A and B are shown apart, each in its own frame.
Chain A
Amino acid sequence: MADALFETLLRLGDNTLILGHRVSEWCGHAPVLEEDIALANTALDLLGQTSLWLEYAGEIEGAGRSADDLAFLRDAWDFHNVLLVELPNGDFGQTVMRQYLFDQFNLMNLRALTGSTDNRIAEIAEKAVKEAAYHVDRSRGTVVGLGDGTAESHERMQAALNILWPYALELFITDDTDADMAKAGVIPDPKTLEADYRATIEATLAEATLTLPDAHFGHRGSGKDGRMHTEHLGHILTQMQWLQRAYPGQAW
């Protein structure tokens, strides 16, 4: 049970950690100043949520690892994030589309987690869900604005959706760890969130004049058990971890 809980917390924390890092790559490069600030703040909220999840993960593991140790001193195969969050940013439209696909899931998942039988998880979710709601408000609005924008922005948003949608489906794969944790009331069974998610996404896409790609497939396997990642994760870690690897224990 402690192992499954540790793994569950890593999944929650790694999703927000890797996405937060990806989004932070836009800092200083976004198309306009307001978007630059918005992306940096979104990344900051995600990293804040990460520290709450990973701090708790370290306590459950009981091996004396801090949130920082878990973030900076694990290798790619020990990361439990979904593949969606480790994909390269692509253009601004693709970044916004990925953000919306994740934000909408994060909001629904956190709402369910506020009722977790694990008190600490419920408390963290209660805090994070307010931020997630704000994020959805923005990423959803931007998807609609760009999808139903110019011919160029529409085309780019549709292309982004075609690339990302199959990855989004990974968020709803339920494996044995998830099933055990769901049975104990610690997390919602991911599968049970899918119908509501799809309906919400489809309503947004209709407003954005975008359509779900034909592909019915989701990617097989998942990044969440650590056994499968894209080649991009290792590259992220070289950026994110190099300082602690080169100068162990270095602090501000």
Chain B
Amino acid sequence: MRPSVDQIWTWLDAVPDPEIPAISLVDLGIIRDVGFDGETCVVTVTPTYSGCPATSVINMEIKAALHDHGVERVELKRQLSPPWTTDWISQSGREKLEKYGIAPPQAAGGPEKCPNCASTNLERLSQFGSTPCKAQWRCKDCLEPFDYFKCI
């Protein structure tokens, strides 16, 4: 029996991002569409950064997750336009990021507060970080360095 589209979304919401496992692929906002073409489940995915090495792992994990739930035929489509933006990270995704120690993206271009002590006395260490989507910041009160999810 063919599962419903809503069911597929729920299953995908349980697939963690390979580089930031605190949030799911759905939280990250990179699943653009789910549908069926006959018996084939078609999942449309948009890349975060064009060079993000996690992209191929993400595709593998989507297939593996759906196979585990008995969906045998899965087709992945890549959608470049409109390009992914950090605005597509869900509210629950932003909260999970912060709890995990990564300051969520802000339109102002820098973190709102230290994810460790909530201080707003912050400085930027580098525009880049451990993955393409992050920059490095430091809290000048608790002195902890932390990742900031770049706003694009």
Residue of A nearest to B81 (CB): A123
A41 touches B132 (CB 8 A): yes
B129 touches A37 (CB 8 A): yes
Contacts of A130 in B (CB 8 A): 83, 152
0/1 per residue, B120-152, Cβ < 8 Å to A?
A: 000001111110100010000000000000101
Knowing A52-B80, A124-B80, A126-B82 are in contact, say whether A131-B50 is a contact too (CB < 8 A): yes
Instruction: State in angstroms the CA–CA spacing of A44 and B49 once bound together.
Output: 9
Residue of A nearest to B129 (CB): A37
B81 touches A45 (CB 8 A): no
B152 touches A134 (CB 8 A): yes
Instruction: State in angstroms the CA–CA spacing of A15 and B9 once bound together.
Output: 39
Knowing A34-B136, A44-B132, A48-B51 are in contact, say whether A127-B127 is a contact too (CB < 8 A): no
A51 at the interface (CB under 8 A from B): yes
Instruction: State in angstroms the CA–CA spacing of A123 and B82 once bound together.
Output: 8
**Least Cβ–Cβ distance between B138 and chain A, in angstroms:** 11
A37 touches B130 (CB 8 A): yes
From 34 to 71 in chain A, residues with beta carbon under 8 angstroms from any chain B beta carbon are: 34-35, 37-38, 40-42, 44-49, 51-52
B52 at the interface (CB under 8 A from A): yes
Instruction: State in angstroms the CA–CA spacing of A212 and B82 once bound together.
Output: 39
Knowing A34-B125, A123-B81, A126-B83 are in contact, say whether A131-B130 is a contact too (CB < 8 A): no
A127 touches B50 (CB 8 A): yes
Contacts of B130 in A (CB 8 A): 37
Best-buried of B53, B83, B127, B128 by chain A (most CB within 10 Å): B128
Interface residue SS majority, chain B: loop
Q: Count A-B pairs with CB separation below 8 Å.
A: 65
Knowing A37-B130, A38-B126 are in contact, say whether A48-B80 is a contact too (CB < 8 A): no
**Least Cβ–Cβ distance between A52 and chain B, in angstroms:** 6
Contacts of B125 in A (CB 8 A): 34
Instruction: State in angstroms the CA–CA spacing of A42 and B132 once bound together.
Output: 8
A127 touches B126 (CB 8 A): no
Contacts of B80 in A (CB 8 A): 52, 123-124, 126-127
**Least Cβ–Cβ distance between B150 and chain A, in angstroms:** 7
Knowing A123-B80, A127-B83 are in contact, say whether A138-B127 is a contact too (CB < 8 A): yes
Contacts of A34 in B (CB 8 A): 125-126, 128, 136
**Least Cβ–Cβ distance between B117 and chain A, in angstroms:** 22
From 128 to 186 in chain A, residues with beta carbon under 8 angstroms from any chain B beta carbon are: 128, 130-131, 134, 137-138
B50 touches A37 (CB 8 A): no
Contacts of B47 in A (CB 8 A): 48, 127
From 99 to 133 in chain B, residues with beta carbon under 8 angstroms from any chain A beta carbon are: 125-130, 132
B127 touches A52 (CB 8 A): no
A38 touches B128 (CB 8 A): yes
Contacts of A46 in B (CB 8 A): 51
B127 touches A47 (CB 8 A): no
**Least Cβ–Cβ distance between A161 and chain B, in angstroms:** 22
Best-buried of A48, A51, A138 by chain B (most CB within 10 Å): A48
Knowing A38-B128, A134-B150, A134-B152 are in contact, say whether A44-B82 is a contact too (CB < 8 A): no
**Least Cβ–Cβ distance between B61 and chain A, in angstroms:** 16
Task: Please name 5 further chain A to chain B contacts, defined as beta carbons within 8 Å, in addition to the given A45-B51, A124-B80, A127-B80, sorted by A numbering.
Answer: A37-B128, A41-B129, A42-B128, A123-B81, A126-B80
